[in-house]
Copies of this chain bind each other. A is one copy, B any other.
Amino acid sequence: MEPPKRRRSNTRARLLEGALEVFAERGFHGASVEDICERAGFTRGAFYSNFGSKDELVLTLFQATTDRLLEQIEALLPELANQPGSLLDAVLGLLDETAPDQRQWHLISAEFTLHALRDPDAAKALNEQRAMFRESLTRLVEQIAETGGLELTVPAEQFVRMVMALHEGARSQSLLEPREVPAGSLEHTFLPMVLEAVSRPSR
């Protein structure tokens, strides 16, 4: 028999996977805890011994995705530290690959953001989660700039916010018009220009 700890972690993983599917089909509000349990093959009891609420499950999904992305970016650093341009390309490639299904990911992420705009508790939790991710990315950008002998003419956090904003809006266009806007195309065209515009050799 599996040890209890691993069993619990498998249950969580299967609930998260099931939830992502059910959310994509029915929307965050349209998918109940029962729907998620049914898809994953567990009871409500199993759900609530792993997550306090549907909100908490979504935030756990976000956390898992951003943690994976940060790990992958960090793994690229040694190889690419001296080529900020290539690093940007590599990071953009990761953004595309990390969320296993961009459509599912965009749907739940956009829906939870809308939910947060109407629910102050969800907004607080989402903002905290996004702040942690943004701070990690900001430190990475600062580290890359320093290693590359560059300084930024805007705060690194502003640059990260801009990348996140452009990526979110571009993904929405790509999903609506996949042929006209291939995933990542706006980011690959414009972000290197912005990076070039905000960086100069440090003294």
Contacts and interface: CB of A to CB of B under 8 A. Distances in A.
A162 B176 contact: no
B177 A127 contact: yes
Given A29-B27, A110-B114, A165 B162 contact: no
Interface of A: 27, 29-30, 103, 106-107, 110-111, 113-114, 116-118, 123, 126-127, 130, 154, 158, 161-162, 164-170, 172-173, 175-177, 181, 186, 189-190, 193-194, 196-198
B189 A193 contact: no
A158 B194 contact: no
19 contacts: A27-B114, A110-B113, A111-B114, A114-B114, A116-B176, A126-B176, A127-B177, A130-B176, A158-B186, A158-B189, A162-B186, A162-B189, A162-B190, A164-B169, A165-B170, A165-B186, A166-B169, A167-B169, A168-B168
A161 B176 contact: no
Contact of A110 (B30, B110, B167, B170): B110
Contact of A196 (B27, B118, B154, B197): B197
A80 to B, nearest CB: 23
Contact of A181 (B111, B113, B161, B173): B161
A117 B106 CA distance: 10
Nearest to A168: B169
Given A113-B172, A114-B111, A176-B113, A162 B158 contact: no
Contacts of A196: 197
A164 B168 contact: no
